[in-house]
Amino acid sequence: MDLSSLEKQSTDELFITLLKVMDELRGPKGCPWDKKQTPASLIPCLLEETYEVIAAIDEQDPAHLKEELGDLLLQVVFHSRIASEEKTFEIGDVIRHLIEKLVRRHPHVFAEGKVAEAEEALKQWEQIKAKEKDPNSLLLEGVPVQLPALARAYRIGAKAARVGFDWPNVEGVLEKVTEELQELHEGISEENQDAVEDEFGDLLFSIAQTARFLKINPEEALRKSTLKFQRRFDHLEKKIRAEQKKIADYSAEELDRLWEESKSFTETVKNL
């Protein structure tokens, strides 16, 4: 294939070329690895590429984001090619279904209707989505069990709230957090590991609902806090290594002092 010709191709032509490349990779003379893959075997790749897109967004690096979005697009094309071989659907069906959904669920753009704010548009989307579903389906069935647990807890709570099953205000859910924390203390004092796990889960679920009331994505908030902890710990570890020591060589009080210094340093660097 003459890669130099790609520069002259339009977006439509490039997409067709991409499909042809995938046809070759899965074809009789294609790559043994690509030909061996199934939807199930590609799950780790799909997850990895998704997280790499998020990492590129965090880095605010357009070149890296462009590359990672291409890798993610590959997964869509790959899965569609396998489905085409199995005669279940093709990439055109995927695109058509997406276009139809976007048009149906944006009547304020493509038909009569009007929404003033993003929240109103989201509410309308969910209402239209609900009408499209099987009337016998249960409300929470559409939340994938494969989601990260914290994100799924948030989504479950949000869906239940849309039909009125919710606390009246943030104070109510904070009272629930306090209640679950007290029950966790009780489980610990009773040395009941099953109860501790159960109450800890209830506490996390309640915290996810608190995030919802505060309009915070709990998964995103935890991700940022974890990255912040890592930056501070990395700085602390580098400083200790520079002194040719190990963390175990320091007392708790000394580590607290170094930690505070690390917090101050990383905050200063971040704000430069």
Q: 255 and 180 share a domain?
A: no
Per-residue pLDDT tens, the chain, 272 aa: give them. 778 889 999 999 999 999 999 999 999 999 999 999 999 999 999 999 999 999 999 889 999 999 999 999 999 999 999 999 999 999 999 999 999 999 999 999 998 888 889 888 988 888 888 888 888 888 898 899 988 999 999 999 998 998 889 999 999 999 999 999 999 999 999 999 999 999 999 999 999 999 999 999 999 999 999 999 999 999 999 999 999 999 999 999 999 999 999 999 888 766 54
Which pLDDT tens digit goes with each residue over 76-88? 999 999 999 999 9
Number of domains in the chain: 3
Place of tokens 């989601």: 147
Place of tokens 């309009």: 215
Is 170 in a helix, a strand, or coil? helix
pTM of the prediction? 0.74
Domain hosting residue 192, numbered range: 140-216
Q: What is the pLDDT of residue 236?
A: 94
**Comparing C-alpha atoms, which of 237, 235, 253 is closest to residue 245?**
237
Q: What is the pLDDT of residue 3?
A: 86
Q: What is the pLDDT of residue 269?
A: 66
The two most distant CA atoms of the chain are separated, in Å, by: 71
Q: What is the radius of gyration, based on Cα positions, of the chain?
A: 25
Q: What is the pLDDT of residue 272?
A: 43
Q: What is the pLDDT of residue 92?
A: 97
* φ and ψ at residue 103, rounded to 5 degrees: -70, -45
Question: b/e per residue, 144-180, with b = 16+ CB within 10 A?
Answer: eeeeeebbbbbbbbebeeeeeebbeeeeebbebbeeb
Q: Measured between alpha carbons, how far is 229 from 232 in angstroms, rounded to an integer?
A: 5
Q: 73 and 35 share a domain?
A: yes
Q: DSSP label at 4?
A: G
Q: 250 and 190 share a domain?
A: no
Q: 11 and 86 share a domain?
A: yes
Question: Is 97 inside a domain boundary?
Answer: no
Domain end residue (candidates: 91, 115, 130): 91
CATH of the domain at 146: 1.10.287.1080
Question: Is 52 inside a domain boundary?
Answer: yes
Q: How far is CA 39 from CA 34, 80, 93, 172, in A?
A: 11, 9, 17, 44
Question: Is 131 inside a domain boundary?
Answer: no
Question: Is 187 inside a domain boundary?
Answer: yes
Question: b/e per residue, 211-248, with b = 16+ CB within 10 A?
Answer: bbbeeeebbeebeeeeeeeebbeebbeeebeeeeeeee
Q: DSSP label at 1?
A: -
Question: Is 125 inside a domain boundary?
Answer: no
Q: 235 and 211 share a domain?
A: no
Q: What is the pLDDT of residue 68?
A: 97
